[in-house]
Chains A and B, each alone.
Chain A
Amino acid sequence: MRLLSIQALNFRNLKPLAIDTDAAFVVIHGPNAQGKTNVLEAVYLLATLKPLRARRLQELVRFEEQNAVVGASIRTEGMERRYKVSIGPDGRTVQLDGQKVGLDQWFQGVRAIAFTPSDGEIVLGGPSERRTWLDRAAFTKAPAHLEVVRRYQRVLDQKAAALKGARPEPAMLDALDVQLAEQAARLVERRMDLLTDLRAHIEALHRRIAGDAGMRVTLRYRSPVVEAQGTMAERWRRIFERSRQGELRRRICLSGPQRDDVEILLDGQPVRSFGSRGQVRSVVLSLKLAELVAARARGDAPLFLLDDLSSELDRARTQRLVEVLSELAAQVFITTTDRGHLGALPADVTCSLRVSQGEVTSSA
């Protein structure tokens, strides 16, 4: 997919925005606190309908305004279409070629993978950070994952409510556990499939980015379900059976994929405890690149967004990254304070944008 142009109105601190972005590399540069990341935020919104750094969608609306609009022309598989997201006090609405569409259709045409300074949390943070990343990555791979997550969550909420009730009836908990096991199995199978995809690429990518030969990156899904026998749903059912007594005692759900984790190891050691800052960044970036490479291998071409690259990677690693990206033929959006940091980007495929006090201008 190629984002040909983007427009935004009342979006964060940006002045009314209308720029062409039809290039393999879109470099957004300028001093700090001018609005570079907000341009990325607009692209991310189109691709995920979620905020990148803000916590709530409403935070994307310009101060003292009611509504924000982001539009774009995107070419996917040879067809150019108009995408439009509006954010108002009541949430967001989307239009594709001027018509309301389902999210199914929307996400067929636009998706993105982002690497931001806060992504170090995927390695350094708690299990929930890794689950969120994993589910987002599974969504980028196949948007149907969202529905799988929602359905699992819905059954989980029902079970939690049942456990909180006056006298939870065992037969009702049984019925909910059967459902929960089925949905848990679907969810975990998808997560594990994604990890398999990433494993196929992460090793080689990490070697190229980090530059230090031979450090092995291992991704391991951590869940009680991994070691058990039988189909995934049967295994979950047995796990839920074993948790029942404790759940009735404590009146909360004690097991399920909402407690799973991904172990990220470098040469057999958890990066979380043993990795240097540089190693953490290289690993996270390799994870994100592996997502992109796996997508390319499937014939998908999500947009790749890199926020504040100059603060994240040294010059040598950055240039190796740019090399990898050039080979992948994906459209890349990069924000940086220092354009020189990126090295020699091929001029004929690079579009350079300068951001100053919320104003975005093309800078050759």
Chain B
Amino acid sequence: MTSDPIRRAVRQLSRLPGIGEKTATRLVYWMLTQPGDVPAQLASALQELDASITECKVCCTLTTHDEDPCRLCARGDRDDTLILVVEHPQDVLAFERTGEYRGRYHVLHGALSPLDGITPDQLRIRPLLERLRAETVTEVVLATDPNVEGDATAMYVARLLRPIGVRTTRLAHGISVGTEIEYADTVSLARAFEYRRELS
């Protein structure tokens, strides 16, 4: 018979993405058998998250109350004419890892999905429009995921931007670099063909 606190902890942990009930159970028992107060340390770290994390008032990515606007928005060496629109804060990190992108970001916190009850007003689209009015942006790059929801979101945002007159582009998609065409999946390959470009 499992006692209530253990069961409650298991239930909470198994809500996390990628963690099932088995893994959650293993984690809870592991924490309980470790030296040092693992549950308390974890709990305080999580509480601190809750207390200190907020959305950046400019780009809506996650940041702390102490750094708002976020570190990237505060930097003076970035290109203010360019905004890259992504679904999630993690996508910002992915682009930063490339070291190629010098512009600003905007995080929507999701993509349109009426099936999951996600409509435009749940996304950070209004703050994006306000930025475009206030800032000197000349191009918005829509870098939402290349799936049905991401494509619909890009289309939706592009249509809202049309009257503003800012150049709107969509991230290219196709086969990944370094793979061989032979092994690329058919959908990516078909898309790569569809979005082919001229060699000058």
Task: Show the binding face of A for B, using Cβ within 8 Å.
Answer: 102, 104, 143-144, 147, 151, 154-155, 157-159, 161-162, 164-165, 169, 171-172, 174-176, 178-179
Residues of A within 8 A of B115 (CB): 157-158, 161
Tell me if B148 and A172 are in contact (CB < 8 A).
no
Residues of B within 8 A of A155 (CB): 148, 152
Binding-face segment, B14-22, B28-36, B98-106, B184-192: B184-192
**B112 CB–A CB distance under 8 Å:** yes
Contact with A along B107-143 (1 / 0, CB 8 A): 0000011110101100000000000000000000000
Residues of A within 8 A of B119 (CB): 162, 165, 169, 172
Contact A147 B186, CB 8 Å, known A175-B152, A179-B151: yes
What are 11 A-B contacts defined by CB distance under 8 Å? A104-B185, A144-B186, A147-B187, A158-B112, A158-B114, A158-B152, A161-B115, A169-B119, A171-B159, A175-B159, A179-B148
Residues of A within 8 A of B117 (CB): 165
Tell me if B156 and A175 are in contact (CB < 8 A).
yes
**B160 CB–A CB distance under 8 Å:** yes
Separation of A349 and B151 alpha carbons in the complex (Å): 53
B71 to chain A, nearest CB (A): 32
Residue of A nearest to B112 (CB): A172
**B74 CB–A CB distance under 8 Å:** no
Separation of A174 and B158 alpha carbons in the complex (Å): 11
Tell me if B186 and A158 are in contact (CB < 8 A).
no
Separation of A327 and B160 alpha carbons in the complex (Å): 60
Tell me if A175 and B112 are in contact (CB < 8 A).
yes
B192 to chain A, nearest CB (A): 13
B133 to chain A, nearest CB (A): 18
Contact A158 B148, CB 8 Å, known A171-B159, A172-B120, A179-B155: yes
Contact A143 B156, CB 8 Å, known A154-B148, A158-B113, A158-B115: no
Separation of A159 and B113 alpha carbons in the complex (Å): 9
**B67 CB–A CB distance under 8 Å:** no
Residues of A within 8 A of B186 (CB): 104, 143-144, 147
Separation of A158 and B153 alpha carbons in the complex (Å): 12
Residue of A nearest to B121 (CB): A169
Residues of B within 8 A of A147 (CB): 186-187
A331 to chain B, nearest CB (A): 25
Task: Show the binding face of B for A, using Cβ within 8 Å.
Answer: 112-115, 117, 119-120, 148-149, 151-153, 155-156, 159-160, 185-187, 190
Residues of A within 8 A of B185 (CB): 102, 104
Tell me if B187 and A174 are in contact (CB < 8 A).
no
Q: From DSSP, what is the main secondary structure of chain B's interface residues? A: helix
Separation of A147 and B190 alpha carbons in the complex (Å): 11
Residue of B nearest to A143 (CB): B186
Separation of A176 and B151 alpha carbons in the complex (Å): 9
Given A172-B112, A179-B148, 4 additional A-B pairs, CB 8 A: A147-B186, A155-B148, A158-B112, A172-B152
Contact A162 B156, CB 8 Å, known A169-B120, A172-B120: no
A237 to chain B, nearest CB (A): 12
With beta carbons under 8 angstroms apart, the residue of B152, B160, B187 that contacts A176 is B152
With beta carbons under 8 angstroms apart, the residue of A143, A144, A161 that contacts B114 is A161
Residues of A within 8 A of B190 (CB): 144
Separation of A176 and B156 alpha carbons in the complex (Å): 8
Tell me if A165 and B159 are in contact (CB < 8 A).
no
Tell me if B187 and A144 are in contact (CB < 8 A).
yes
Separation of A144 and B160 alpha carbons in the complex (Å): 33
Separation of A158 and B155 alpha carbons in the complex (Å): 14
Contact A179 B152, CB 8 Å, known A171-B160, A174-B159: yes
Residues of B within 8 A of A158 (CB): 112-115, 148-149, 152
B125 to chain A, nearest CB (A): 10
Separation of A154 and B155 alpha carbons in the complex (Å): 16
Separation of A179 and B186 alpha carbons in the complex (Å): 20
A103 to chain B, nearest CB (A): 9
Would you list the 7 A-B pairs with minimal beta carbon distance, nearest first?
A161-B114, A175-B156, A162-B114, A175-B155, A144-B186, A161-B115, A154-B148
Residue of A nearest to B113 (CB): A158
Separation of A104 and B188 alpha carbons in the complex (Å): 12
The listed residue with most A CB atoms (<10 A of its CB), out of B113, B151, B186, is B186
Residues of A within 8 A of B155 (CB): 174-175, 178-179
Residue of B nearest to A169 (CB): B120
Separation of A158 and B112 alpha carbons in the complex (Å): 9
Separation of A342 and B153 alpha carbons in the complex (Å): 58
B123 to chain A, nearest CB (A): 11
Residues of A within 8 A of B159 (CB): 171, 174-175
Residue of A nearest to B158 (CB): A175
Separation of A147 and B119 alpha carbons in the complex (Å): 25
Residues of A within 8 A of B114 (CB): 158-159, 161-162, 164-165, 172, 176
